Amino acid sequence: MGKHRRPGPPNQPSRATAHVDLHDPLAAYVKRRRAPMDQYRRHRPLHDGGGHLRPGEARVLEEWTGFAYEPVGTAPDLATAQVWVHDLDPGAVDGEE
């Protein structure tokens, strides 16, 4: 049997794991505290079903605390929840840094 490996060119790093700074002495600790797949915010349907189903229904908004996802609020629909998930700096005003 051949060696198991990721398909694709061997000169490209895997996209499944996040970058770890080799010069940081706490890199292993920080890596364990990182959110799964580096997704620090997520939304879930308030009721059962897939996230893409019933886009007009309410969503629960969750943020990664370093240990687990915790609910921080709700959104009235899918579009509002997606805007919240992709908002990198919620305190910033448009046009300011």
Q: What is the pLDDT of residue 97?
A: 43
What is the CA angle 92-95-97, rounded to 5?
A: 50
Q: What is the pLDDT of residue 75?
A: 94
Q: Does the pTM of the predicted model rise above 0.85?
A: no
Which residues in the chain land under pLDDT 50?
A: 95-97
Instruction: State pLDDT tens for residues 24-40.
Output: 888 777 777 777 777 88
Q: What is the pLDDT of residue 26?
A: 82
Q: What is the pLDDT of residue 71?
A: 95
CB 43 within 8 A of CB 23: no
Place of tokens 């240990």: 67
Q: How far is Cα of residue 61 from the mean position of the Cα atoms in its chain?
A: 12
Q: What is the pLDDT of residue 36?
A: 77
